[in-house]
């Protein structure tokens, strides 16, 4: 094919693939076969597509590539969590975490190469943003995690959380396409009820999620209900301020009838006072919530420290006394830099 670059076959939807197949003198049903090999069976090469004619396989090779993810490194935590450093086809790197708990396992998926939101508490901010992940790259994280869960824990994954590198609502279309393949018969056939998207509060994306009536769960990384302070630690609050975020969450609940999870990272002397707890309680009055209090996890770029246990207990008790549902989420994988806010791999090819 000379210098004509190969195309990423995973970016072709069923209709586009069918048109391409017919244009290259094959029956339209070959498109469905290709799709099944690519997504449902997650093959690594066109040669594995054993029900396709050999000549057609060669034609596919001349036009397309399959953007496989390479697991380059595994780190196992003392608590059983496993962090995967994964190299993409274009030599970028992402991280994925597999987290076991009793007879369940959760995979923490990345949506972008790095992140551009510059949250001051997060190590990923220091990687910077390179690009969005494709639907296939996110789908393959989940597919591979499912295989790894079977090997290491003896059962498939039970839950998927978009809480890895990147902001999923800034990669909305690709995330939704990945979820479509994860939850339908053309892919893994999992329930949407097992999926949680975690966002820093992208108002437009939250409203679109509501309009699309998606059945996935929504978690908001809030971390402060004080307007100026949140803008300081989370610059996204300047363009998506708390009042607009609150209105979007009301809209989301009205459209979906789904309770929202509020994630709140306690930072010593920053957002952990009873006044901060009061502001958080006020923010949470407009819609049903579950609040996850998260311990701060140190990393090489850290400018904060963790709240002490006594202040943490006072903060939680205040919220519970306001009849709010509050859980303390103990971080896993801290010893391998796999916990919340610690993902920051950036390697050269």
Q: Can you name the residues that pair with 260 across neighbouring β-strands? A: 289
Per DSSP, the three-state class of 250 is helix
User: What distance in Å separates the CA atoms of residue 5 and residue 62, rounded to the nearest whole number?
Assistant: 9
Q: Return the structure tokens found at 28.
A: 């339209």
User: What distance in Å separates the CA atoms of residue 69 and residue 84, rounded to the nearest whole number?
Assistant: 11
Q: Is 48 a catalytic residue?
A: no
Among candidate residues 95, 137, 140, 263, the one labeled active-site is: 95
Among candidate residues 108, 119, 122, 340, the one labeled active-site is: 340
| Contact (Cβ atoms closer than 8 angstroms) between residue 341 and residue 125 | no
| Residue labelled with tokens 């952990």 | 272
| Contact (Cβ atoms closer than 8 angstroms) between residue 217 and residue 261 | yes
Q: Return the structure tokens found at 130.
A: 């390179």
Per DSSP, the three-state class of 85 is strand
Q: Is 137 a catalytic residue?
A: no
| Residue labelled with tokens 């099944």 | 36
Q: Can you name the residues that pair with 8 across neighbouring β-strands? A: 65
Residues annotated catalytic, as ranges: 95, 340
């Amino acid at each position: 094919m000379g210098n004509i670059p190969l195309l990423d076959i995973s970016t072709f939807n069923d209709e586009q693939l069918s048109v391409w197949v017919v244009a290259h003198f094959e029956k339209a049903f070959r498109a469905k076969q290709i799709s099944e090999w690519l997504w449902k069976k997650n093959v690594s090469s066109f040669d594995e597509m054993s029900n396709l004619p050999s000549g057609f396989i060669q034609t596919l090779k001349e036009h397309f590539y399959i953007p496989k993810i390479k697991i380059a490194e595994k780190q196992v935590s003392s608590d059983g969590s496993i962090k995967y450093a994964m190299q993409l086809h274009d030599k970028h790197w992402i991280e994925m975490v597999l987290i076991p708990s009793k007879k369940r396992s959760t995979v923490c998926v990345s949506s972008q190469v790095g992140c551009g939101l510059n949250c001051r508490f997060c190590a990923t901010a220091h990687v910077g943003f390179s690009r969005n992940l494709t639907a296939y790259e996110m789908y393959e994280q989940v597919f591979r995690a499912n295989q790894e869960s079977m090997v290491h824990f003896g059962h498939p994954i039970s839950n998927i959380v978009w809480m890895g590198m990147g902001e999923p609502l800034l990669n909305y279309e690709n995330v939704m396409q990945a979820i479509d393949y994860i939850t339908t018969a053309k892919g893994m056939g999992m329930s949407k009820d097992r999926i949680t998207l975690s966002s820093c509060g992208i108002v437009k994306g939250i409203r679109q999620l509501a309009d699309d009536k998606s059945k996935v769960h929504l978690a908001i990384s809030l971390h402060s209900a004080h307007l100026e302070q949140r803008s300081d630690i989370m610059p996204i609050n300047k363009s998506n301020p708390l009042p607009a975020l609150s209105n979007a969450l009301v809209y989301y609940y009205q459209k979906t009838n789904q309770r929202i999870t509020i994630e709140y990272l306690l930072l010593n002397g920053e957002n952990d006072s009873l006044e901060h707890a009061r502001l958080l309680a006020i923010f949470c009055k407009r819609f049903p919530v579950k609040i996850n209090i998260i311990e701060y996890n140190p990393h090489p770029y850290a400018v904060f420290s963790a709240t002490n246990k006594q202040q943490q207990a006072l903060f939680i008790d205040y919220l519970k006394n306001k009849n709010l549902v509050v859980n303390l989420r103990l971080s896993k994988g801290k010893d391998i830099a796999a916990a919340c806010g610690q993902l920051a791999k950036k390697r050269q090819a």
